[in-house]
Amino acid sequence: MSSHLRAIAVAVVVSAIGILAGCGSQREALVSINISPATGTATHGSANDTVQFTANGNFGTFGSYQNSTATATCLLHASDKTRTLTEVTWTTSDSVNSSVDAHGAATCLGTTAAPATITALASGICGGVKATATLSCN
């Protein structure tokens, strides 16, 4: 066999091993999140004008596979681990009367009868995962 054909054969074998190594791989994946507390109340203009929200992630097993069209599919299995998330994007539905910082501290900037929805968004292997809580500003 010529050295050129031998090099091609080695490349094919290495590629096949690489594809098979990825087949059925499993890693930890963010399945869902929840926010604590689910409902917070703060009083505008007082020492109690801020509520600290925390996002907790529920993690399960992520599996993927490749088929002849190189399509990867996200397969999530039951959540079996929970931990506090540090890389979360926090937002408020009422930026006039409330704000929320990068650490989940929501502050009342005014008073309103309707509570603000506080949203936490975290990135996962299979896409973004979000949860909501409410903040009442008295």
Structure tokens at 49: 């004008």
**8 located within any domain:** no
pLDDT at 78 (0 to 100):
67
Query: What's the pLDDT tens digit per position in 25-47?
Result: 567 788 889 999 999 999 999 98
pLDDT at 66 (0 to 100):
56
C-alpha torsion angle, residues 117, 120, 121, 125 (rounded to 10):
-140
pLDDT at 104 (0 to 100):
97
**18 located within any domain:** no
Q: CA gyration radius for the chain?
A: 23
**9 located within any domain:** no
pLDDT at 120 (0 to 100):
98
pLDDT at 89 (0 to 100):
97
Give the chain's end-to-end CA distance (angstroms, integer): 83
pLDDT at 61 (0 to 100):
79
Range of the domain at 93: 26-137
CATH number of the domain within which 34 lies: 2.60.40
Mean pLDDT by 10-residue block, N- to C-terminus, for the chain (138 residues)? 50 38 60 95 93 94 61 63 93 97 97 96 86 97
Cβ atoms < 10 Å from Cβ of 51: 23
pLDDT at 69 (0 to 100):
57
pTM of the shown model: 0.72
**10 located within any domain:** no
**19 located within any domain:** no
**3 located within any domain:** no
Q: What is the number of structural domains in the chain?
A: 1
Q: What type of residue is 131?
A: A
